[in-house]
Structure 1
Amino acid sequence: MSTTALIVGAGNGLSASLARLFAKQGFSVALAARQIEKLTQLSSEIGAVSFAADASKPDQVEQLFIDVENKLSAPNVVIYNPSFRVRGPLVALDPGEVAKTLEITAYGGFLVAQAAAKRLLALGGGAIFFTGASASVKGYPLSAPFAMGKFALRGLAQSIARELAPKNIHVAHFVIDGGIRSTIRQDPADKPDSTLDPDAIAQTYLNILQQPRSAWTWEVELRPWVENF
């Protein structure tokens, strides 16, 4: 059977590490983002196919899955990685920006999970993974919209994990509790491994995907060894 991994909200950092790892494992990789110009180099590097889609728009999500199915195959693994945040005091928050945070961070997760589940039920199994954050379990000050979105995404994951696991669909939520290392966020010389290595995070996603179904987990937390929690 063909194996296709769809990463929604693709870009640099974690999603790029996931794409490289899944390509190395022999998956066909589909990358989805609102602006696919940023994916040109990565797609060329690993032979992935890029698709333009706004995950918060139902018609675009449905078209995304149709396009992936036509160009590759129905995805066996779907990873939801987008997020958006607006920060500020509660009384100063722009309601429109708050709504946008919820649409991208949580509502889009529902749309992608629904479209994925329809295909995976027909296939007889697969996996749907959600990328969470510290805000999935802790509401920080001046960050109410992001906490709202990530709490909602976690609730979605927990609910559908219970619904879909008996149908051979593995749903998992990943709490990324700490800063992810990047070209602009490097570890200080005196504090090695104080940020999360995106390649190491990606390896955990693969480990969860490879779990025997007699011992599935629906959630895992990841943080650097020096992170407070």
Structure 2
Amino acid sequence: MPKSSSISSSTPSKGIAAIVGVGLKLGKSIARKFAHEGYTVAILSRDLGSLSKIAEEIAREEKAQVFAIRIDCSDTRSIREAFEGVLSLGFVEVLVYNAAYQPLPLHPTNFTEIPVNSFEKSLAVSSVGAFHCAQQVLPGMVERGRGTILFTGCSASLGGMSGFSELCCGKFALRGLSQCLAREFQSQGIHVAHVIIDGLVGAPRMPSILQRTTTGEQPSGVGGRAADGLMDPDSLAQTYWHLHLQDRSAWTQEIDLRPSTTFRFF
């Protein structure tokens, strides 16, 4: 069953936003953004203890309903059970798939030394898990003629790189899945987009970007992170939100985001 953290809010809920692959950086910022905008949010990852703390923090800050649900994206049964909990909350209007697998430390690995089970797990988490999660929510979206599915890619989505076969192959497949779903379901009102994060994501660096005013003003200090080559997760979350808001007459199907410096992940 979903573990809930919530504080009552006068803002009516707009639906369920399910964020899969929530840690302390990008996933958390995306979840906070959708909670801030009035969505009931389900956050999912393997570590339920850490996830519950994130849910409590977002619920307290945004006066929102946030549900923490454990999921193992390499396990079909775990995905199915997790989404039984998510779907019990109501109509899933937004799915963000942010899960990925890469053994740490993150460094090039000689191809002949990669264990096949590690390669298979990367494929399972990056692409097969995304396939299963999308299958869970698409029937409800098609029935209502609306919904948004956003997949998180990275530099490895665009080209093969020496020493990173595990990461590249999973992310290549995820990009292909996103393109296929966009072509199949966009005519039915479902917006599917692939977001390429071409850089390293740091911790939030500012008073939350959610504090921007309706006139577009930014809190003091905004714009200072680029010097360290890291990407601000709150700024990235804004892009996910804007993709969700796009008019269907001009949907983005793929977008790449990178810091203004020449720093690259690979």
Same fold (TM over 0.5): yes
State percent identity of aligned pairs. Answer: 36
CA contact (8 A) 2:195 2:256 kept: yes
The residue type equivalent to 1:29 in the other structure is: V
Q: Which residue of 87, 90, 97 maps to 1:69?
A: 87
Match of 1:171 in 2: 192
| Secondary structure class of the residue paired with 1:112 | helix
Q: Which residue of 184, 189, 200 maps to 2:235?
A: 200
Structure 1 residues 89-140: Cα deviation after superposition (integer angstroms, max 9, x where no partner)? 1111111111111111111011111112122112321011100000000222
Match of 1:36 in 2: 48
Residues in 1 aligned to 2:100 and 2:169: alpha-carbon distance in whole angstroms: 12
The residue type equivalent to 1:163 in the other structure is: E
The equivalences for 1:102-113 within 5 A come to 102-113=123-134
The residue type equivalent to 1:85 in the other structure is: Q
How many angstroms does 1:16 deviate by? 0.5
| Secondary structure class of the residue paired with 1:39 | helix
| Secondary structure class of the residue paired with 1:130 | strand
The equivalences for 1:201-220 within 5 A come to 201-220=236-255
Residues in 2 aligned to 1:165 and 1:208: alpha-carbon distance in whole angstroms: 14
Specify the structure having the higher radius of gyration (Cα).
Answer: 2
| Secondary structure class of the residue paired with 2:82 | helix
Q: Which moved more, 1:40-49 or 1:208-217?
A: 40-49
Match of 1:127 in 2: 148
Q: Which moved more, 1:151-160 or 1:58-67?
A: 58-67
Residues in 2 aligned to 1:135 and 1:114: alpha-carbon distance in whole angstroms: 24
Using the size of structure 1 for normalisation, the TM-score is: 0.92
Residues in 1 aligned to 2:179 and 2:146: alpha-carbon distance in whole angstroms: 18
Residues in 2 aligned to 1:129 and 1:63: alpha-carbon distance in whole angstroms: 21
Residues in 2 aligned to 1:107 and 1:132: alpha-carbon distance in whole angstroms: 14
Q: Which residue of 10, 33, 47 maps to 1:21?
A: 33
How many angstroms does 1:226 deviate by? 1.1
CA RMSD, 1 decimal: 1.8
Gaps of 5+ in 2: 1-12, 60-65, 205-223
Q: Which residue of 157, 163, 173 maps to 1:136?
A: 157
| Secondary structure class of the residue paired with 1:217 | coil
Q: How many residues align?
A: 223
Match of 1:222 in 2: 257
How many angstroms does 1:61 deviate by? 1.8
Using the size of structure 2 for normalisation, the TM-score is: 0.79
Q: Spell out structure 1 runs of 4+ moving beyond 4 A.
A: none
The residue type equivalent to 2:34 in the other structure is: F
